[in-house]
Amino acid sequence: MRKRYLLVKAICERPLSLQLFEAALISSVRGLFGDFGLARIDPKIVRFDASSLEAVIACNGERAEDLQAAIGLISDTAQSKMGALTLRVSGTIKGLSRKEHF
Amino acid sequence: MTGFVDLHVIPRVDDKQSCQRMAELLHLAGYSAVALALPTGLLRDRVTSLGRLFEDVGIGTVSRVDLTANSRSDLLKLLRRFRTLYDVVAVKCANQVVASVACRDRRVDLIYFDPANPKVRFGHQLASMLRGAVEFNVISTFLGETRKEIFSRVAKEAAVAREHGSKIVLSSGCWSPVAVRSPLQISAIGASIGLSREQCAQGVREVPLSIIQRNQERRSRLFVEEGVKIVTLKQR
Protein backbone atom coordinates (compact mmCIF):
# COMPACT_ATOMS: atom_id res chain seq x y z
CA MET A 1 0.00 0.00 0.00
CA ARG A 2 1.47 3.31 -1.11
CA LYS A 3 1.37 6.14 1.39
CA ARG A 4 0.77 9.85 0.95
CA TYR A 5 2.07 12.52 3.28
CA LEU A 6 0.26 15.75 4.03
CA LEU A 7 1.83 18.89 5.45
CA VAL A 8 -0.80 20.48 7.66
CA LYS A 9 -0.77 23.78 9.51
CA ALA A 10 -3.08 24.10 12.48
CA ILE A 11 -4.73 27.45 13.17
CA CYS A 12 -5.41 27.79 16.85
CA GLU A 13 -5.55 30.69 19.27
CA ARG A 14 -4.19 28.66 22.20
CA PRO A 15 -1.10 26.42 22.44
CA LEU A 16 -1.79 23.04 20.90
CA SER A 17 -0.43 19.68 22.01
CA LEU A 18 0.04 16.59 19.87
CA GLN A 19 -2.64 14.73 21.85
CA LEU A 20 -5.24 17.45 21.29
CA PHE A 21 -4.44 17.67 17.58
CA GLU A 22 -4.59 13.90 17.17
CA ALA A 23 -7.90 13.69 19.02
CA ALA A 24 -9.39 16.44 16.82
CA LEU A 25 -8.12 14.73 13.66
CA ILE A 26 -9.45 11.29 14.57
CA SER A 27 -12.78 12.72 15.67
CA SER A 28 -13.17 14.60 12.38
CA VAL A 29 -12.30 11.57 10.22
CA ARG A 30 -14.64 9.38 12.26
CA GLY A 31 -17.44 11.98 12.10
CA LEU A 32 -17.23 12.20 8.32
CA PHE A 33 -16.44 8.63 7.29
CA GLY A 34 -17.16 6.45 10.34
CA ASP A 35 -14.99 3.79 11.93
CA PHE A 36 -14.63 1.82 8.72
CA GLY A 37 -13.53 4.94 6.84
CA LEU A 38 -11.05 5.75 9.61
CA ALA A 39 -9.52 2.28 9.26
CA ARG A 40 -9.29 2.62 5.48
CA ILE A 41 -7.78 6.12 5.57
CA ASP A 42 -5.43 5.06 8.39
CA PRO A 43 -4.11 8.53 9.34
CA LYS A 44 -0.93 8.71 11.43
CA ILE A 45 0.82 11.82 12.67
CA VAL A 46 4.46 11.37 11.72
CA ARG A 47 5.77 14.72 12.92
CA PHE A 48 4.32 17.55 14.96
CA ASP A 49 5.92 20.87 15.74
CA ALA A 50 4.08 22.62 18.57
CA SER A 51 5.86 25.93 18.00
CA SER A 52 5.01 26.37 14.31
CA LEU A 53 1.82 24.25 14.65
CA GLU A 54 2.82 22.21 11.60
CA ALA A 55 2.28 18.48 11.30
CA VAL A 56 3.11 15.77 8.79
CA ILE A 57 0.34 13.19 8.50
CA ALA A 58 0.71 9.87 6.68
CA CYS A 59 -2.28 8.06 5.22
CA ASN A 60 -3.33 5.43 2.72
CA GLY A 61 -2.44 6.91 -0.67
CA GLU A 62 -5.79 6.06 -2.24
CA ARG A 63 -7.66 7.87 0.52
CA ALA A 64 -5.61 11.08 0.69
CA GLU A 65 -8.49 13.14 -0.68
CA ASP A 66 -10.83 11.84 2.02
CA LEU A 67 -8.28 12.78 4.65
CA GLN A 68 -8.01 16.27 3.21
CA ALA A 69 -11.77 16.68 3.43
CA ALA A 70 -11.76 15.51 7.04
CA ILE A 71 -8.89 17.85 7.94
CA GLY A 72 -10.85 20.66 6.32
CA LEU A 73 -13.75 20.01 8.65
CA ILE A 74 -11.79 20.09 11.90
CA SER A 75 -13.48 22.84 13.87
CA ASP A 76 -12.34 22.58 17.47
CA THR A 77 -10.31 20.75 20.08
CA ALA A 78 -11.44 19.97 23.60
CA GLN A 79 -10.14 23.37 24.70
CA SER A 80 -10.63 25.88 21.91
CA LYS A 81 -11.63 26.57 18.34
CA MET A 82 -9.23 25.26 15.77
CA GLY A 83 -8.82 24.94 12.02
CA ALA A 84 -6.27 23.17 9.85
CA LEU A 85 -4.86 23.99 6.43
CA THR A 86 -3.39 21.38 4.09
CA LEU A 87 -0.35 23.10 2.61
CA ARG A 88 1.22 20.32 0.56
CA VAL A 89 0.70 16.71 -0.40
CA SER A 90 3.52 14.39 -1.44
CA GLY A 91 4.52 10.76 -1.77
CA THR A 92 7.57 11.25 0.46
CA ILE A 93 8.32 13.30 3.56
CA LYS A 94 11.33 14.80 1.80
CA GLY A 95 9.04 15.89 -1.02
CA LEU A 96 7.01 18.03 1.37
CA SER A 97 9.97 20.28 2.07
CA ARG A 98 11.07 20.32 -1.55
CA LYS A 99 7.80 21.07 -3.23
CA GLU A 100 6.41 24.44 -4.05
CA HIS A 101 2.72 25.11 -3.35
CA PHE A 102 0.58 22.44 -5.03
CA MET B 1 -5.54 37.08 -12.56
CA THR B 2 -4.68 33.37 -12.37
CA GLY B 3 -4.67 30.61 -9.78
CA PHE B 4 -7.15 29.68 -7.10
CA VAL B 5 -10.04 31.94 -6.18
CA ASP B 6 -12.34 31.94 -3.16
CA LEU B 7 -15.49 33.80 -4.16
CA HIS B 8 -16.97 34.03 -0.67
CA VAL B 9 -14.87 35.56 2.07
CA ILE B 10 -16.73 37.46 4.78
CA PRO B 11 -14.18 39.51 6.75
CA ARG B 12 -15.12 41.08 10.07
CA VAL B 13 -14.98 44.71 9.02
CA ASP B 14 -14.61 46.00 12.58
CA ASP B 15 -11.66 43.74 13.43
CA LYS B 16 -8.52 44.73 11.52
CA GLN B 17 -6.33 42.09 13.17
CA SER B 18 -8.68 39.30 12.16
CA CYS B 19 -8.75 40.59 8.56
CA GLN B 20 -4.96 40.78 8.48
CA ARG B 21 -4.62 37.21 9.76
CA MET B 22 -7.23 35.99 7.28
CA ALA B 23 -5.34 37.61 4.43
CA GLU B 24 -2.07 35.96 5.51
CA LEU B 25 -3.69 32.54 5.82
CA LEU B 26 -5.48 32.82 2.48
CA HIS B 27 -2.14 33.63 0.88
CA LEU B 28 -0.49 30.69 2.66
CA ALA B 29 -3.33 28.44 1.49
CA GLY B 30 -2.49 29.32 -2.10
CA TYR B 31 -5.24 31.69 -3.20
CA SER B 32 -4.44 34.39 -5.69
CA ALA B 33 -7.75 36.25 -5.45
CA VAL B 34 -10.77 36.46 -3.18
CA ALA B 35 -14.20 38.08 -3.37
CA LEU B 36 -14.94 40.09 -0.26
CA ALA B 37 -18.57 40.11 0.81
CA LEU B 38 -18.91 43.40 2.65
CA PRO B 39 -21.99 45.15 4.04
CA THR B 40 -23.58 47.31 1.33
CA GLY B 41 -23.59 50.43 3.50
CA LEU B 42 -19.86 50.37 4.23
CA LEU B 43 -18.00 53.60 3.44
CA ARG B 44 -15.80 53.53 0.34
CA ASP B 45 -12.66 54.38 2.37
CA ARG B 46 -13.18 51.36 4.60
CA VAL B 47 -13.69 49.12 1.57
CA THR B 48 -10.49 50.42 -0.01
CA SER B 49 -8.44 49.98 3.17
CA LEU B 50 -9.77 46.44 3.64
CA GLY B 51 -8.91 45.60 0.04
CA ARG B 52 -5.43 47.00 0.58
CA LEU B 53 -4.91 44.70 3.59
CA PHE B 54 -5.38 41.71 1.27
CA GLU B 55 -3.47 43.19 -1.63
CA ASP B 56 -0.46 43.90 0.61
CA VAL B 57 0.04 40.17 1.18
CA GLY B 58 -0.37 39.40 -2.53
CA ILE B 59 -4.05 38.55 -2.89
CA GLY B 60 -6.21 40.26 -5.49
CA THR B 61 -9.66 41.32 -4.33
CA VAL B 62 -13.00 41.83 -5.98
CA SER B 63 -16.22 43.07 -4.42
CA ARG B 64 -19.19 40.80 -3.89
CA VAL B 65 -22.73 41.44 -2.77
CA ASP B 66 -25.08 38.83 -1.32
CA LEU B 67 -28.68 39.66 -2.15
CA THR B 68 -31.59 38.23 -0.19
CA ALA B 69 -35.16 38.89 -1.26
CA ASN B 70 -38.54 37.42 -0.48
CA SER B 71 -40.27 38.25 -3.75
CA ARG B 72 -39.55 38.63 -7.45
CA SER B 73 -40.03 42.40 -7.43
CA ASP B 74 -37.71 42.87 -4.44
CA LEU B 75 -35.00 40.87 -6.15
CA LEU B 76 -35.31 42.79 -9.43
CA LYS B 77 -35.17 46.07 -7.50
CA LEU B 78 -32.00 44.96 -5.69
CA LEU B 79 -30.40 43.78 -8.94
CA ARG B 80 -31.10 47.13 -10.62
CA ARG B 81 -29.51 48.93 -7.69
CA PHE B 82 -26.43 46.80 -7.05
CA ARG B 83 -25.43 45.11 -10.31
CA THR B 84 -23.26 47.94 -11.57
CA LEU B 85 -21.60 48.53 -8.19
CA TYR B 86 -20.13 45.08 -7.54
CA ASP B 87 -17.92 42.61 -9.39
CA VAL B 88 -19.81 39.55 -8.22
CA VAL B 89 -23.54 39.40 -7.51
CA ALA B 90 -24.81 36.40 -5.56
CA VAL B 91 -28.39 35.64 -4.61
CA LYS B 92 -29.29 33.67 -1.52
CA CYS B 93 -32.46 31.88 -2.57
CA ALA B 94 -35.00 32.17 0.21
CA ASN B 95 -37.89 30.60 -1.69
CA GLN B 96 -38.73 28.91 -4.97
CA VAL B 97 -39.97 32.07 -6.72
CA VAL B 98 -36.81 34.03 -5.96
CA ALA B 99 -34.70 31.02 -6.94
CA SER B 100 -36.32 30.70 -10.36
CA VAL B 101 -35.96 34.44 -11.08
CA ALA B 102 -32.31 34.36 -9.97
CA CYS B 103 -31.61 31.33 -12.16
CA ARG B 104 -32.99 33.01 -15.28
CA ASP B 105 -31.60 36.52 -14.77
CA ARG B 106 -28.28 37.06 -16.54
CA ARG B 107 -27.25 39.75 -14.05
CA VAL B 108 -26.93 37.07 -11.38
CA ASP B 109 -23.52 35.41 -11.23
CA LEU B 110 -24.13 32.98 -8.43
CA ILE B 111 -27.01 31.43 -6.59
CA TYR B 112 -26.70 29.65 -3.29
CA PHE B 113 -29.01 28.02 -0.81
CA ASP B 114 -29.26 27.95 2.94
CA PRO B 115 -29.11 24.21 3.73
CA ALA B 116 -31.15 24.80 6.88
CA ASN B 117 -34.03 26.32 4.89
CA PRO B 118 -36.46 23.56 3.92
CA LYS B 119 -38.56 25.83 1.64
CA VAL B 120 -36.27 25.68 -1.34
CA ARG B 121 -33.64 23.41 -2.81
CA PHE B 122 -31.66 23.12 -6.01
CA GLY B 123 -33.71 20.71 -8.09
CA HIS B 124 -33.89 19.65 -11.73
CA GLN B 125 -36.18 22.52 -12.73
CA LEU B 126 -33.82 25.18 -11.38
CA ALA B 127 -30.78 23.40 -12.80
CA SER B 128 -32.26 23.45 -16.29
CA MET B 129 -32.93 27.21 -16.07
CA LEU B 130 -29.61 28.21 -14.48
CA ARG B 131 -27.64 30.80 -16.46
CA GLY B 132 -24.98 31.58 -13.86
CA ALA B 133 -23.40 29.16 -11.44
CA VAL B 134 -24.48 27.43 -8.28
CA GLU B 135 -22.29 27.97 -5.25
CA PHE B 136 -21.56 25.53 -2.45
CA ASN B 137 -20.17 27.22 0.66
CA VAL B 138 -18.61 24.06 1.97
CA ILE B 139 -16.90 25.36 5.10
CA SER B 140 -19.69 27.54 6.47
CA THR B 141 -22.17 24.73 5.76
CA PHE B 142 -20.33 21.78 7.24
CA LEU B 143 -18.08 23.24 9.93
CA GLY B 144 -19.05 22.52 13.52
CA GLU B 145 -22.08 20.51 14.53
CA THR B 146 -23.75 19.35 11.33
CA ARG B 147 -26.75 17.08 11.00
CA LYS B 148 -26.99 14.23 8.60
CA GLU B 149 -29.98 15.96 6.95
CA ILE B 150 -27.74 18.80 5.82
CA PHE B 151 -25.17 16.41 4.36
CA SER B 152 -27.86 14.47 2.58
CA ARG B 153 -29.49 17.63 1.22
CA VAL B 154 -26.27 19.10 -0.10
CA ALA B 155 -25.34 15.73 -1.62
CA LYS B 156 -28.69 15.66 -3.45
CA GLU B 157 -28.13 19.18 -4.78
CA ALA B 158 -24.62 18.18 -5.87
CA ALA B 159 -26.04 15.15 -7.69
CA VAL B 160 -28.51 17.39 -9.57
CA ALA B 161 -25.74 19.83 -10.50
CA ARG B 162 -23.59 16.95 -11.66
CA GLU B 163 -26.38 15.43 -13.76
CA HIS B 164 -27.16 18.73 -15.52
CA GLY B 165 -23.51 19.72 -15.90
CA SER B 166 -24.23 23.02 -14.13
CA LYS B 167 -21.42 25.45 -13.48
CA ILE B 168 -20.29 25.00 -9.90
CA VAL B 169 -18.35 27.31 -7.64
CA LEU B 170 -16.84 25.89 -4.49
CA SER B 171 -16.27 28.59 -1.89
CA SER B 172 -15.42 28.56 1.76
CA GLY B 173 -17.78 31.23 3.09
CA CYS B 174 -15.13 31.79 5.77
CA TRP B 175 -15.77 34.49 8.35
CA SER B 176 -12.68 34.19 10.58
CA PRO B 177 -9.05 33.01 10.36
CA VAL B 178 -10.01 29.67 11.95
CA ALA B 179 -12.39 28.96 9.05
CA VAL B 180 -9.85 29.53 6.28
CA ARG B 181 -9.15 26.38 4.24
CA SER B 182 -6.94 25.62 1.26
CA PRO B 183 -8.37 25.06 -2.25
CA LEU B 184 -7.20 21.42 -2.03
CA GLN B 185 -9.41 20.92 1.01
CA ILE B 186 -12.38 22.74 -0.50
CA SER B 187 -12.07 20.60 -3.61
CA ALA B 188 -11.77 17.41 -1.51
CA ILE B 189 -14.93 18.30 0.44
CA GLY B 190 -16.67 18.92 -2.90
CA ALA B 191 -15.65 15.43 -4.02
CA SER B 192 -16.92 13.91 -0.79
CA ILE B 193 -20.41 15.39 -1.35
CA GLY B 194 -20.52 13.72 -4.74
CA LEU B 195 -19.19 16.22 -7.27
CA SER B 196 -16.91 14.97 -10.02
CA ARG B 197 -13.18 15.63 -9.80
CA GLU B 198 -13.37 17.87 -12.85
CA GLN B 199 -16.21 19.95 -11.38
CA CYS B 200 -14.28 20.30 -8.11
CA ALA B 201 -11.10 21.41 -9.85
CA GLN B 202 -12.99 23.89 -12.01
CA GLY B 203 -15.03 25.10 -9.02
CA VAL B 204 -12.01 26.55 -7.25
CA ARG B 205 -10.22 27.90 -10.31
CA GLU B 206 -11.69 28.22 -13.81
CA VAL B 207 -15.34 29.01 -13.05
CA PRO B 208 -14.70 31.75 -10.44
CA LEU B 209 -11.98 33.25 -12.63
CA SER B 210 -14.28 33.36 -15.64
CA ILE B 211 -16.99 35.09 -13.56
CA ILE B 212 -14.54 37.74 -12.35
CA GLN B 213 -13.06 38.34 -15.80
CA ARG B 214 -16.47 38.59 -17.47
CA ASN B 215 -17.70 41.11 -14.93
CA GLN B 216 -14.55 43.19 -15.00
CA GLU B 217 -14.91 43.35 -18.75
CA ARG B 218 -18.57 44.35 -18.39
CA ARG B 219 -17.68 47.10 -15.94
CA SER B 220 -14.90 48.54 -18.09
CA ARG B 221 -15.63 51.75 -20.02
CA LEU B 222 -14.96 50.01 -23.33
CA PHE B 223 -17.94 47.71 -22.85
CA VAL B 224 -21.11 48.74 -24.66
CA GLU B 225 -23.37 45.73 -24.34
CA GLU B 226 -23.26 41.93 -24.61
CA GLY B 227 -21.07 41.17 -27.64
CA VAL B 228 -20.28 44.82 -28.38
CA LYS B 229 -17.22 46.67 -27.12
CA ILE B 230 -15.08 49.60 -28.22
CA VAL B 231 -11.89 48.27 -29.76
CA THR B 232 -9.99 51.54 -30.38
CA LEU B 233 -10.52 54.96 -28.91
CA LYS B 234 -10.10 57.91 -31.29
CA GLN B 235 -7.59 60.51 -30.11
CA ARG B 236 -9.13 63.94 -29.87
- Measured CA to CA, the distance from residue B215 to residue A63 in angstroms comes to 38
Is A7 domain-assigned?
yes
Which ipTM was obtained for this model? 0.90
Contact B30 A102 (CB under 8 A): yes
Is B150 in a helix, a strand, or coil?
helix
- The per-residue pLDDT for B131 is 92
- Tell me the CATH number at A23: 3.30.70.3250
Measure A39 CA to nearest chain B CA, in Å: 17
Question: Closest partner residue to B182 among A76, A82, A87, by Cβ?
Answer: A87
Closest C-alpha to B191, from A43, A63, A88, A56: A63
Task: Inform me whether the pLDDT recorded for B232 exceeds 80.
Answer: no
The domains found in chain B, sorted by start residue, are 4-229 (3.20.20.140)
- Expressed as residue numbers, the domain containing A57 is 3-89
Task: Inform me whether the pLDDT recorded for B76 exceeds 60.
Answer: yes
Is A97 domain-assigned?
no
The distance of Cα B147 from the centroid of its chain, to the nearest Å, equals 24
Per-residue pLDDT of A4-54, as tens digits, reads 999 999 998 888 899 999 999 999 999 999 999 999 999 999 999 999 999
Q: Strands across the sheet with A44-49, in order?
A: A44-49, A54-60, A3-12, A82-90
Question: Closest partner residue to A69 among B25, B179, B188, by Cβ?
Answer: B188
Is A65 domain-assigned?
yes
* Cα atoms in the Cβ-side hemisphere of radius 13 Å centred on B193: 31
Contact B185 A81 (CB under 8 A): no
Is A101 domain-assigned?
no
- The per-residue pLDDT for B47 is 87
Give yes or no for A62 touching B (CB within 8 A): no
In this structure, the strands spanning B60-69 and B31-37 are: parallel
Per-residue pLDDT of B105-132, as tens digits, reads 999 999 999 888 888 889 999 999 999 9
Contact B130, B93 (CB under 8 A): no
Domain count, chain A: 1
- The per-residue pLDDT for A56 is 95
Give yes or no for A28 touching B (CB within 8 A): no
Is B154 in a helix, a strand, or coil?
helix
**Global pTM?**
0.89
